[in-house]
Amino acid sequence: MKLYNMIFDLLKSKLPLSNDLMTANIGAELLLIISLILVCLLFRHINVLLSAILIIFVLVFTITNMPLIPKFKSEQDDSLNKMMFYVLIALGIIITFLYWGGRFV
């Protein structure tokens, strides 16, 4: 019930709360956590130990930062600054992964 209460309190402070909104947010929260763990599981194809470490990290991160979805949503609003920030971060990650990854791995 703790997760429910945390999301309830957070949403209630910002929006007129309804049953469907609460359900949708809890659904999104669970979807996010499960999906992140599944993505971490994929790393077992590279290294099982790496996958285990990532899963533990994600679990600790999600438990200590719950509820994730309101923070997640605020990072993906229509602000041009945030969009530009993530676009440049993504460009950096792709180039790092492909350029240096391809040359030195």
Partner 1 sequence: MIDFIPLMVIVPLACALLLNLFSNQNKLLKCLSFIVAIIIPAIAILCSYGTHYFGGYAPMVDNVTNTLYHPAITYTFTVFQQIFIALVGLLAFLVVLVYLTNYKKVSGFYLFLIFLGLAAITAIILTDDIFNFYVFFEILVLAQVGIVAASSIENNYETALKYMILGSIGGPMLLLGISFLLALTGSVNISDIAIAVHSGVVSPTSSIFLMACALILFGWAYASGLPPFHTIKSGMYSKAEPHAAALIQSFTVISMIALALIMIRIFMIIPYFEIIIVGFSAIAMILGVSMALTQDDFRRMIAFLAVGELGFIGLGLGLGTHFAVTAGLFQALNEIVSTALLFIGFGIIARTVGETNISKLGGLIEYYPKTAILLLFGGLVMAGVPPFNGFQSKLMLVQASLSCGFPELSLLAIIISIATFLVFVRVFYMMFLKPKPKDLVVPKKPVSRSAIFAMIVLFAFCVVLGLFPGIVTSKIALFVGGLF
99 binds partner 1 (CB under 8 A): yes
Task: Give the span between the Cα atoms of 46 and 85, in whole angstroms.
Answer: 29
Q: How far is the CB of 88 from partner 1 (least distance, A)?
A: 8
Among the listed residues 59, 67, 70, the one whose alpha carbon sits nearest the alpha carbon of residue 2? 67
3-state secondary structure of 76: coil
* 58 and 36 Cβ atoms separated by less than 8 Å: yes
Supply the minimum distance, in Å, between the C-beta of residue 102 and partner 1: 4
| Pattern 22-61, partner 1, x by CB under 8 A | -xxx-xx--xx-xxx-xx-xx--x----------------
- The secondary element (H helix, E strand) that includes residue 69 is helix 69-75
Contact string (CB under 8 A) for partner 1, positions 74-93, x = contact: --xxx-x--xx-xxxxxx--
User: Whole-angstrom Cα distance, residue 29 to residue 11?
Assistant: 13
What does the binding site for partner 1 look like in residue numbers (CB under 8 A)?
A: 16, 18, 20-21, 23-25, 27-28, 31-32, 34-36, 38-39, 41-42, 45, 69, 72-73, 76-78, 80, 83-84, 86-91, 94-95, 97-99, 101-103, 105
